[in-house]
């Protein structure tokens, strides 16, 4: 078995090397070799094995115990989504999806992989100039080193199903008209769990900034829409914000909300590296909705959204944050808590119910939500 030899050779050559130990899974031998060379250009990264399909990846994770796995989605024998589910259930390790934007269906499968437990997605370096390739390679190496330190959760989906029955008391009698959500690394899975817990007749609109690699937003939207009772769509300039609809910010432009309860896409510069920016969205929610805004900050790296949460809090709105134990990365929520911008810190399985509690007397506050869907 040549792939087993690849893993054995890599292990013997790199077994004593300190640093981040990576398993590469991709059905293309060319891509596997490219990723190995790209990653090992950093002396702090060693590739300890290379798998040609999902089944080999699952077996090698158990054998080699890498710090991180890079995973393609569409592979023979066992696809990347199934492999991620198996890895997260039995030998949890951070998984970074490295994929090309091939089609809407493909990007929807990438979203499914994130929902299965992968911590992030990044684009494969494509045909580009040497300068562009080197920049993309550096981005991949940096992301691998960052994510290798993430503490992932075993059997996360099973845990959520067991805990999803908590009855929340009514949070308040004030009328919430908008739920504004900020999330980054680990966010797609958290979003699916939360949105699936909300009814189609939720008497408030939802707006979301999710940091994700450019080109994958359409697939994320399609996957969320298919797996939730709420309508999920991508933000379009001028669209009305309607109850029971979740609007996801598009790539490479800021999304805001107006006092006329509409979406406004703006190409302005804003502090920070993110476009779309969660701060920009949440600050606009504070201005437009005031006490009628509910801010929610989820798992993610960095501090984007913390300032916006503070703006909602100071405008008389309500604020929730995902807790550390259920976050893939407790960065964004931690920063919002540090700014004293969070009223309540909530475990992921209970966030949907916490949101429902802001609508006492409506059907949204009644009954149990559906269990998270695969």
pLDDT of residue 109 exceeding 60, the answer is yes
| 53: Cβ contacts below 8 Å, ≥ 6 apart | 25, 27, 75, 76, 77, 78
The CATH number of whichever domain residue 52 belongs to comes to: 3.40.50.2300
- Say yes or no to pLDDT of 218 above 80: yes
304, 315, 318, 327: which one is catalytic?
A: 304
Q: Which helix (H) or strand (E) holds 353?
A: helix 348-356
Q: Three-class SS string for 183-231?
A: ECCCHHHHHHHHHHCCCCCCCCEEEEEECCCCCCHHHHHHHHHHCCCCE
Report the alpha-carbon angle 282-246-193, nearest 5.
95
Higher pLDDT, 269 or 285: 285
> Over 90: is that where the pLDDT of 9 sits?
no
Indicate whether 173 pLDDT > 50.
no
pTM confidence score: 0.81
d(CA 275, CA 261): 22
**So what's the pLDDT on residue 124?**
85
Pair 57, 108 in one domain: yes
Establish whether 211 is a catalytic residue. Answer: yes
Output the 3-class SS for 75-102. Answer: CCCCCHHHHHHHHHHHCCCCEEEEECCC
Q: Are residues 112 and 207 part of one domain? A: no
Residues 88, 294: Cα–Cα separation, whole Å: 32
Q: Determine the pLDDT at residue 127.
A: 65
- From 122, 154, 186, give the residue that closes a domain: 154
Catalytic residue among 184, 284, 327, 365: 184
Same domain, residue pair 229 and 337: yes
Residue 15's pLDDT is 39
Residue scoring higher pLDDT (215 or 162):
215
User: Is the domain of 176 the same as that of 135?
Assistant: no
Q: Which of 27, 79, 211, 254 is catalytic?
A: 211
Residue 9 sits in the same domain as residue 121 = yes
Write down the pLDDT at residue 16: 38
- Based on the fold, state whether residues 234 and 140 are members of the same structural domain: no
pLDDT at 161 over 90: no
Collapse the DSSP code of 235 into the 3-class scheme (helix H, G, I; strand E, B; otherwise coil) and give the result. Answer: coil
Domain count, the chain: 2
Which residues, other chains included, contact 60 with Cβ-Cβ below 8 Å and sequence gap of 6+? 7, 23, 49, 51, 66
331 vs 154: which has the higher pLDDT? 331
Q: What would the pLDDT profile of 57-100 be if each residue is shown by its tens digit?
A: 999 999 999 999 999 999 999 999 999 999 998 999 999 999 88
Task: Domain of residue 45: give its range.
Answer: 2-154
304 among known catalytic residues:
yes
CA distance 120 to 143: 9
Tell me, yes or no, whether 23 lies in a domain. yes
Distance CA 351, CA 206 (A): 14
CATH of the domain at 175: 3.40.50.180
* pLDDT > 80? residue 351: yes
Q: Mind listing the pLDDT tens digit for each residue in 11-54? A: 333 333 469 999 999 999 999 999 999 999 999 999 999 999 99
Give me the pLDDT at residue 158, please: 34
């Amino acid at each position: 078995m040549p792939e087993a030899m690849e893993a054995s050779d890599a292990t013997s050559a790199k077994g004593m090397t300190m640093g981040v130990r990576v398993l590469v899974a991709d059905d293309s031998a060319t891509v596997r070799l490219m990723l190995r060379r790209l990653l090992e250009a950093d002396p702090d990264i060693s590739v300890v094995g290379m798998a040609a399909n999902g089944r080999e990846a699952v077996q090698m994770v158990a054998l080699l115990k890498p710090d991180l796995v890079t995973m393609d989605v569409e592979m023979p024998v066992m696809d990347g989504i199934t492999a991620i589910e198996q890895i997260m259930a039995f030998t949890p390790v951070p998984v970074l999806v490295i994929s090309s934007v091939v089609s809407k269906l493909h990007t929807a499968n990438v979203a499914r992989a994130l929902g299965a437990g992968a911590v992030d997605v990044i684009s494969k370096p494509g045909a580009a100039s040497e300068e562009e390739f080197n920049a993309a390679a550096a981005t991949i190496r940096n992301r691998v080193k960052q994510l290798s330190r993430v503490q992932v959760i075993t059997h996360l989906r099973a845990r959520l199903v067991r805990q999803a029955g908590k009855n929340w008391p009514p949070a308040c009698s004030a009328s919430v008209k908008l739920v504004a959500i900020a999330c980054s690394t680990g966010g797609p899975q958290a979003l699916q769990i939360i949105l699936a817990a909300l009814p189609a007749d939720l008497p408030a609109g939802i707006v979301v900034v999710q940091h994700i690699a450019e080109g994958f937003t359409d697939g994320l939207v399609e996957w969320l829409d298919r797996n939730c009772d709420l309508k999920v769509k991508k933000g379009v300039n001028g669209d009305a914000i309607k109850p029971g609809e979740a609007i996801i910010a598009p790539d490479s432009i800021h999304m805001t909300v107006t006092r006329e309860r509409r979406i406004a896409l703006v190409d302005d510069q804003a502090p920070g590296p993110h476009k779309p920016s969660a701060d920009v969205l949440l600050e606009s929610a504070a201005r437009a909705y005031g006490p009628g805004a509910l801010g929610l900050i989820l798992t993610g790296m960095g501090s984007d959204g913390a300032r916006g949460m503070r703006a909602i809090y100071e405008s008389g709105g309500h604020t929730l944050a995902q807790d550390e134990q259920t976050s893939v990365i407790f960065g964004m929520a931690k920063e919002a808590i540090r700014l004293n911008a969070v009223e309540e810190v909530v475990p992921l399985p209970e966030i949907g119910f916490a949101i429902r509690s802001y609508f006492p007397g409506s059907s949204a506050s009644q009954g149990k939500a559906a269990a998270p869907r695969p």
